[in-house]
Each structure stands twice: as structure tokens, then as C-alpha cells.
Structure 1
Amino acid sequence: MTILREAVERQRQYMINKIITEGIAMNDDVLLHDKTITELVNEYEQSQVLNQ
């Protein structure tokens, strides 16, 4: 079970880093670090739609 939790956390950190790197949110955005993977993916996808 620990392996699954670690994998989920790695994916969550990946999405947070991607959102920050692409300028969608700032690193000091405390709310960003409290979001679930689903919320992070949705935020990223919404920004991609808006940028097209």
C-alpha cells in the first residue's frame, strides 16, 4: 500500500511542478499544494483549453 501512496504523491508533485513551470500558478500558491491529482489535472487542462 505504501508503494501506491508514493506513486500517487510523485504524480501529484509532477503535476504541481508542471503547473508552476508553465506559469499557470506560482510556487507560493498554498492552495495548489492542497489539491488532489484530479483537481491539478483539471486545472492544467483548463489552462490548455484557454490558451488555444
Structure 2
Amino acid sequence: MSTVAKLLARKERLLAQLESDPGPNEREEIERLLAQIETALSLLAPEDGAGPSDA
């Protein structure tokens, strides 16, 4: 499994946890982890995001 696939799977699990109405401390930790995953994904796959245009 690729790094991107692993990150996406972890993101999916965290989002499911977030939907289960966690307490405030757990919610904060989940949101922190999600932010880290988003950063890692943007660094690993910059061509998928909004990059500089050719114009």
C-alpha cells in the first residue's frame, strides 16, 4: 500500500471517529491528526492541489 493510500485510509478512520461525537479533548486530537494528514498529502501530491498556473 502506498504512503498516500495509507494516509487516506487513516483520514477515513479519523473522520469516522469524528462522526461518532467524541468528547472535546478527543475531537481536538482528531482534528490535529487530520491537519497533519492533510499537510502530508499536500506535500506528497502537489499536482493534485491548486498549483501555479501556466498563464
TM-score (norm 2): 0.42
Q: Which has the larger radius of gyration?
A: 2
